[in-house]
Amino acid sequence: HRVIAPKQARFSIPFFYEPRVDAEIAPLPLEGAEPFEPFLYGDYLWDTATKFVEMSGVRHLRQPRRAKAS
């Protein structure tokens, strides 16, 4: 995006949000939406982090907890 210099001084505050590691992520019941299996955010985070080569040796240290069937 293009930034235009403002006439007044300004500052930004970044805001980051993440769910708790035990939060269940599930599809919304929308018509025509492709459903997926609910999962825990912690499982997703671990799976994503261990795809980095630096983390390749630790993947075996944790088994997914999996979301409870609703």
β-pair partners for 39 = 25
Domain layout of the chain by residue ranges? 36-70
pLDDT tens digits, 17-39: 899 999 999 998 888 878 899 99
pTM above 0.75, yes or no: no
State mean pLDDT over 48-56: 80
Q: Which token pair is 7?
A: 């006439």
Residues in Cβ contact with 68 at an 8 Å cutoff, skipping those fewer than 6 apart: 24, 38
